[in-house]
Structure 1
Amino acid sequence: MQKAVSNSLLLFFLLIFSCPTILGQSTSEKKSLISILKHLEKKHDIRFSYATNEIDDIHILTPNENFKLEESLKYLSNKTSFNYIKINKRYITVQNKKNTVLKCGKIFDSNTNLALEAAEVTFSNSSKTTFTNKEGLFYFPSNQYSGLIIISFLGYQDVIINSKEFKNDCVPIFIFEEASLLEQVFIKLFFTKGIQKNLDGSFKLNTNNIGLVPGQTENDVFQIIQALPGIESIDESISNINIRGGTQDENLILWDGIKMYQNGHFFGLISAFNPDLTKDVRVYKNGTHARFGESVSGIVDMKSDNTIANEIKGGIGVNLINASAFLSIPVTKNLGLQVSGRSSINNIIETGVYNSYSNKIFQDTEILSLLNEASTLSVSADEDFSFYDLSAKVLWDFSEKDKVRVNFLNIDNSLDFIETLNETSQSKTSNLNQQSIASGVSWEHLWTDKITTNLLGYSSYYLLNSLNQDIFTEQTQMQENKVLETGIKLDASIAFSDKFNLQTGYHLSEVGIENTQDINIPGFSSREKEVLQTHVLYGNSTYKPFSDNTIINAGLRINYYSSFDKIIPEPRLSIHQKLGNGFAVETLGEFKSQTTTQRIDFQSDFLGVVKRRWTLSNNKDIPIIRSKQASLGFVYNKNNWLINLEGFLKKVKGITTSNQGFQNQFQFEKSIGNYSVKGVEFVLNKKSESLSTWFSYTYLKNDYDFAELTPSKFPNNLDIKHSATLASSYQINRFKVALGINWHHGKPFTTPNEDNEIININGENSINYNEPNSDNLPDYFRINISAEYLWSLSSKIDLKLNAALLNVLDRTNSINIRHALNSNDIGETRISQVEEVSLGFSPNVSLQFLFN
């Protein structure tokens, strides 16, 4: 009996002490929920996302140490008023059960019906992004996220779906593979969010959700790409982008496949392309896809939004220079309309930024010199400047396999300069107009899952004209530069297998360029017109012999110029080889050519504001420009560290003294030559969840070779030997800020000989120059700051505030120096030095209301 009692007591005590274990909890004291979550984070190498103020005062018994992660989450869900939702393998969000109605979606491959893990899900009305789990599932609280949801996955077409379509059940979403293999991304975040480096060596900018670069007020494409190594503007002008030592006219600028001959507003200080509808931008420095021609330097390929909106969305905004608006309208399920416009606001208010920009653009022009002279003469002078752009796009998906797009773009800059004699009230008006009109119709057809074709017919028109009237001499000078390009492009993409892809096509274009000049005193008139028709066949293949470890892009472009009966082949090559452990090597090479260039006849042309005019090759004194380039790069990309070292060699032949814009002893010489560039680009980038810091450095040696000039070899006008940037971009929730320091070696210029500055040649005085480009301007140095904040005013309306401080230290940087002859008060000839300086301290603010 006593033994039975003892056994019963023993069993009783065992049950008492094992009860907490059976129930899944310990007998220890209650602990705060925060401490329990931190313990689980350390134990399972995970991260919880929660609002501290909601869980700060909650204390519960800890879950059993033997529990697996899923068991611990289930225990916490039962013991608290929160759901614990796995966003991906590492991140878990904590959501209040009472205040949250969770919506669910599941992503499938449309061909295999298999769930896709790690698909990116972005909520358009916030900066939040999540990813699908192993089952292809993602969750979001309906009371926090509304509007459009963008689903992206590498190698697949983006899908946009309205959050209203998410009901009680988990919504299945099927996404389709991309026909092209060239969209594969090598470095997803290069410097800041939205800038990517692709496996073919190109860079891609996604302006929908891009981070900040220093100095950025809006998503100005041509400002953002200057953050990339090897790309800069030595005179701070958007319309003068220099890519690896090349001039602006050596770049190909495309808008929805149409070549643009103008890319700037305010005569070059801001981009002419509305950032609200410019979605994707591709930038090539070397290894260019064979589809692209007509450039010997870089490619900037811009594409507007190509998706029909699910609901009306748009925005209106204003900064200290211009006001803008855009609108995307779903007319029907298969028909959409996009419109946008911008206009300068200086006719309403002239802000400090406008005045700063005006002083920058009009220095060393007839406008500023006459304004200054008018203050000392009995003449009053005034200028009236304005700009605008309008764009429209019709999107029609008339079947599941057919897409038709109609595009229109109009860009306009206008300047009137009025001089008035105070005594007689007689006045004369000089004016300058710059305009571009582009239009195109494209049809994309999906023949099979592996074959796609696209047909584009387009027209691109450019006009630059000026009327210069002298109020004292009655002289009137009219100058005009016209460009009209029309063409057809047929492109096809064939995905033979996972390892091999081919893109091929035929392009036909006809370019006509006309230059006119008319002067009344003395009577002079000239008109030049050239027309060139070009036929192009190209093929570009992507081959992956060893999966993604080796990517080979090889292409050939064949240009036939019917007017010259001349064929120019252009091979292209890009090889990306992974070496393992985060290391990779890249080899790029290309041959390219172009027939359209810009020249400068006189520094006073077009009122001195836009001195460059387009000309067309005649295969004689204006040859076809041709280039060769090769580069070798090494990349380390691992553990949020990026190191990129790339060396390159580039040679361009067929340039003329006129299109280089010399301001020295070669200003009026007519000669054909070449230039060669060798350089190194280095990038060091450290990234964390919220912060990205980078340092980039470019060494570049750029030299001319003109056989008919003396000396024949001398530094290029764009020979910036050393250039460096140190910058950081920080983002937390809806706030972004960026700070950057830019420094580069001063550009070359030519000085007069101090011992004998003026010489007389055939009875005319001339400047006796030293060796060409033998001196350099002082080093350039500038600090820029940008910030952005996005307020959610309602489920439908956001307010975005941007601010930028350019040249924070208000440093006066010299960007050009030239010399000219004039006379002093007693009629003696002397040399005056004309200096152009950079923008001073320029703060700008942008306010934009976004709705959907």
Structure 2
Amino acid sequence: MNRNFILSIILSVFFLNVTAVKAQTTQKEKQPLIVVLKDLSETYNISFSFVDDTVNDKQVTAPNKDFSLEEVLDFLRQETQLDFELLDNRFVVIKVKKKKRNDFRIQSLKEVFVTNYLTTGITKLNDGSITIKPKTFGILPGLIEPDVLQTIQALPGVLSTDETVSNINVRGGTHDQNLLLWDGIKMYQSGHFFGLISAFNPHTTKRINVYKNGTSAKYGDGISSIIDMRLPDVIDNEFDAGLGFNLINVDGYIKVPLSRNTELQLSTRRSITDVINTSTYDQYFKRIFQDSDFEKSKSNNNSISQNESFYFYDIAAKFLYDISKKDKVRFHFLNVNNSLNYDEQLTKNDRDEAFNSNLSQENLAFGVTYTRDWNEKFSTSAQAYVSNYNLDATNYDVINDQRLIQQNEVYDITAKLDINYDINTLFKINSGYQFTEVGISNLEDVNNPNFRSFVKEVIRSHAVYGETGFLSNDAKTKLTLGGRLNYIEKFDMFFAEPRLSFSQRFSNYFRFEVLGEFKSQTTSQIIDLQNDFLGIEKRRWVLANNNKELLFKENQTIHPIPVLKSKQFSAGLHFNKNKLLISAETYIKKVDGITTRSQGFQNQFQFVNSVGSYEIKGIDMLLNKQFNDVVSSWISYSYSNNNYTFSDLNEGKKIPNNADTTHALTFAGTYTHNDIKFAAGLNWHSGIPNTKPAIDDNTEDNTITYAPPNSSRLDDYLRIDCSATYAFNLSDTSTATLGASIWNLLNKNNNINTYYTLDENKKVNAVENRSLGITPNVSLRVQF
């Protein structure tokens, strides 16, 4: 950092301190709660029911006039420590909260900017982030359950070019550039069914925070986005349980208080795909395995694939223990698994021979968190965890009598300390330290010819961070300024990462927003060969080695993999009045240190190893209108220009990014009436770049000569989805929800990828990967 930058930080902190002191003297005067309730009754056309003794001694400041009813009630809960329960959108019952041993200090919530963003349960905050609460989630087109990673794809600027949750592109980035946190633990596997279903059970997740830019300094990695999933963390001494099934899996969860100060949360989910074949399973299976070794072996005339078995499951557990009113301990456990087995039978010399190929993908995580509230202003939290990812494949080529074993394993051991200090209601400080040790190994073992390669790399990193946050008394101005300093032992390198989040409301209905960040990342995913791991899960995790050029060591070729570094800046203007939201946000992002192997090229660069960068400029726009809490409709549009630059490829000229979707449009709406919910929507985006063979290609040299890289595009993508749910009571203590959905209602045969191969006759063949066809699904959930 130069001296001018450091000086600007010091001046900013000084300004915030002075502003905070001044603001304290201008705080609104408190009024009797009974007076405030009378005004609110007239403003929001509601009635309050309470016992006089409950409110008589309470003094509060009047809530902001721009607050929604939900925000007003949240504000009053914080101010009075009373329970405000809304009944039938018309009556509010005020009760004294039950005293619990887990009553810690009162934490002020982040200011809500937009409630019911797109649908209920999705909220936009004034720090630029989006919060999703599955418990109050409404409905989205094509979804009958709040799938975490499918839901975020409804947000502007978030897209999956191949329809999977294991390839989410946030503002042009690859999926490995997204940081996925489950209760603070980094996850290296995101999907079931090899990417078609989120690996994280939404019914036990309390909230998901999504950051595309301007993230807090406490977050490392994730140069494209942060997806922070959190389970319930407060013991409420209430029993909760549920069971559900759809045409892919069954699941169940339970939250049970073991004592006044302990609670256990358990959930599990398992596919039914190895027991029952459904139309939904058939479509999923066709989509995922269409270009895999499994499917190719079935079509080979010399071998027969049989006895295939595919299933997935996940198990999650959290144990909560409140040691005292100020101390609490949490234990976290998660196991996510996908497994595929199939036999290949070959008749050789009048004798049948059978070989078993299999693929297993698993993420196992365990962690412990200790939190202490020293007083009402000062608290600390310490967490330690282990996250272990393992991708293991055994592939038999019965025609060539070859067996290939491949393994990719990640061990992530992390310890974090987070410190929060609230100087006053306006000014806050957050700081901390993080130590991470990541070891990644890759194994290749071939029996014909004999070859074995095992590579393991380890990186230890240290990070310190700090940030200061200011929120004006009228909640119109919010500023968070911070920085993170990373140190990597192996390379003796420091990375300074400033962070900025600024939001200003003006003219009551407008908000101006500025976000910026520097980030770095030492882990990434690459593709060595397109048929690795049976051609199903082609990507493998690797660590940065900071090499500048190819190295040869012990008969191994070590390719350069730099530390990824990104810079991003965005500015947005939002208008919100009478449940009408008009939003526009423009951004620019540059990422350095990418490699051709991490981008999935299938053209002339497929076997080239080069280091470069990509730069994306774009704008995300949204028009969202809600009508009387019954209908919500929106149209979103994103424009982007995303290009690679590799100094030693294409003469150093720009190349369209493999994930570049110049235009993306979504038009959708939801209808909610009593217990019925319905949603329908259209998704369209321009085709991704593609490289065709050159017109004058001569294949006599057994190679394909290509046209300029990514000079063509696939056809545009179009999909229409719909879904509906109906909730009803089974008894006084249990409810049920019946749902149905149709993905790709028009059965559009979208081409999501095309590449080219040479056959035995030296003829060029186009191989096309197709999207999901029309895919129905139904579900039934029972909650106790």
Q: In 1, distance between residues paired with 2:259 and 2:86?
A: 15
| Larger Rg, first or second structure (1 or 2) | 1
Q: In 2, distance between residues paired with 1:603 and 1:683?
A: 37
Map 1:717-756; keep pairs closer than 5 Å.
717-756=658-697
User: Aligned in 2, Cα 1:577/1:162: closer, same or farther, shift over 3 Å?
Assistant: closer
Contact 2:241 2:254 in 1 (8 A): yes
Instruction: Please tell me whether residue 220 in structure 1 is matched to residue 147 in structure 2.
Output: yes
Equivalent position of 2:733 in the other structure: 796
Instruction: Please tell me whether residue 114 in structure 1 is matched to residue 59 in structure 2.
Output: yes
Equivalent position of 2:749 in the other structure: 812
Q: 1:419 aligns with which of 344, 352, 360?
A: 344
> Deviation at 1:425?
3.3
Which residue identity is paired with 1:770? A
Q: 1:173 aligns with which of 97, 101, 104?
A: 97
Q: In 1, distance between residues paired with 2:359 and 2:126?
A: 44
Deviations 1:25-50 (A, max 9, x none): xxxxxxxxxxxxxxxxxxxxxxxxxx
Which residue identity is paired with 1:754? I
Equivalent position of 1:835 in the other structure: 768
Instruction: Please tell me whether residue 481 in structure 1 is matched to residue 421 in structure 2.
Output: no
User: Aligned in 2, Cα 1:365/1:633: closer, same or farther, shift over 3 Å?
Assistant: same
Q: In 1, distance between residues paired with 2:60 and 2:109?
A: 24
Instruction: Please tell me whether residue 438 in structure 1 is matched to residue 365 in structure 2.
Output: yes
User: Aligned in 2, Cα 1:758/1:256: closer, same or farther, shift over 3 Å?
Assistant: same
User: Aligned in 2, Cα 1:218/1:107: closer, same or farther, shift over 3 Å?
Assistant: farther
User: Aligned in 2, Cα 1:116/1:846: closer, same or farther, shift over 3 Å?
Assistant: farther
Q: In 1, distance between residues paired with 2:234 and 2:426?
A: 29
Instruction: Please tell me whether residue 290 in structure 1 is matched to residue 217 in structure 2.
Output: yes
Q: In 1, distance between residues paired with 2:298 and 2:569?
A: 49
> Deviation at 1:113?
4.4
Instruction: Please tell me whether residue 702 in structure 1 is matched to residue 639 in structure 2.
Output: no
User: Aligned in 2, Cα 1:424/1:585: closer, same or farther, shift over 3 Å?
Assistant: same
User: Aligned in 2, Cα 1:581/1:91: closer, same or farther, shift over 3 Å?
Assistant: closer
Equivalent position of 2:630 in the other structure: 690
User: Aligned in 2, Cα 1:170/1:844: closer, same or farther, shift over 3 Å?
Assistant: closer
Q: 1:636 aligns with which of 552, 575, 587?
A: 575
Contact 2:409 2:441 in 1 (8 A): yes
Which residue identity is paired with 2:588? L
Deviations 1:71-91 (A, max 9, x none): xxxxxxxxxxxxxxx977444
Q: In 2, distance between residues paired with 1:246 and 1:281?
A: 20
Map 1:392-471; keep pairs closer than 5 Å.
392-421=317-346, 424-471=351-398
Q: In 2, distance between residues paired with 1:174 and 1:575?
A: 38
> Deviation at 1:397?
1.2
> Deviation at 1:735?
1.4
User: Aligned in 2, Cα 1:377/1:158: closer, same or farther, shift over 3 Å?
Assistant: farther
Q: Quick check: 300-309 or 561-570, which moved more? A: 300-309
Q: 1:520 aligns with which of 447, 456, 469?
A: 447
Q: In 1, distance between residues paired with 2:439 and 2:704?
A: 38
Which residue identity is paired with 1:814? N
- Provide TM-score, normalisation by structure 1: 0.81
3-state SS, counterpart of residue 695 of structure 1: strand
Contact 1:683 1:696 in 2 (8 A): yes
Map 1:141-540; keep pairs closer than 5 Å.
153=77, 171-173=95-97, 183-373=110-300, 376-377=301-302, 379-421=304-346, 424-540=351-467
Q: In 2, distance between residues paired with 1:284 and 1:630?
A: 13
User: Aligned in 2, Cα 1:671/1:790: closer, same or farther, shift over 3 Å?
Assistant: same
> Deviation at 1:486?
0.5
Q: 2:617 aligns with which of 678, 687, 696?
A: 678
Contact 1:186 1:199 in 2 (8 A): yes
User: Aligned in 2, Cα 1:206/1:601: closer, same or farther, shift over 3 Å?
Assistant: same
3-state SS, counterpart of residue 59 of structure 2: coil
Q: 1:649 aligns with which of 578, 588, 610?
A: 588
Equivalent position of 1:78 in the other structure: none
Q: In 2, distance between residues paired with 1:741 and 1:158?
A: 44
Equivalent position of 1:770 in the other structure: 707
> Deviation at 1:656?
0.5
Which residue identity is paired with 2:743? L
Q: How many residues align?
A: 721
> Deviation at 1:579?
1.7
Question: What is the Cα-based RMSD across aligned positions, in Å?
Answer: 2.8
User: Aligned in 2, Cα 1:581/1:770: closer, same or farther, shift over 3 Å?
Assistant: same
Which residue identity is paired with 1:216? L
User: Aligned in 2, Cα 1:87/1:802: closer, same or farther, shift over 3 Å?
Assistant: farther
Which residue identity is paired with 1:410? N
Contact 2:644 2:657 in 1 (8 A): yes
Q: In 1, distance between residues paired with 2:190 and 2:777?
A: 21
User: Aligned in 2, Cα 1:477/1:151: closer, same or farther, shift over 3 Å?
Assistant: farther
Deviations 1:83-139 (A, max 9, x none): xxx977444589xxxxxxx98799879xx94369889xxxxxxxxx98799xx8xxx
Q: In 1, distance between residues paired with 2:158 and 2:458?
A: 32
User: Aligned in 2, Cα 1:158/1:266: closer, same or farther, shift over 3 Å?
Assistant: farther
User: Aligned in 2, Cα 1:725/1:170: closer, same or farther, shift over 3 Å?
Assistant: closer
Q: In 1, distance between residues paired with 2:170 and 2:82?
A: 31
Equivalent position of 1:62 in the other structure: none
- Provide TM-score, normalisation by structure 2: 0.88
User: Aligned in 2, Cα 1:819/1:155: closer, same or farther, shift over 3 Å?
Assistant: farther
User: Aligned in 2, Cα 1:759/1:496: closer, same or farther, shift over 3 Å?
Assistant: farther
User: Aligned in 2, Cα 1:440/1:697: closer, same or farther, shift over 3 Å?
Assistant: same
User: Aligned in 2, Cα 1:832/1:511: closer, same or farther, shift over 3 Å?
Assistant: same
Contact 1:440 1:457 in 2 (8 A): yes
> Deviation at 1:736?
1.1
Q: In 2, distance between residues paired with 1:186 and 1:850?
A: 31
3-state SS, counterpart of residue 259 of structure 2: coil
> Deviation at 1:292?
0.6
Which residue identity is paired with 1:608? G
Deviations 1:446-501 (A, max 9, x none): 11111111110111000001001122332111000000001111101111012211
Contact 1:116 1:132 in 2 (8 A): no
Deviations 1:741-760 (A, max 9, x none): 00000000100012225262
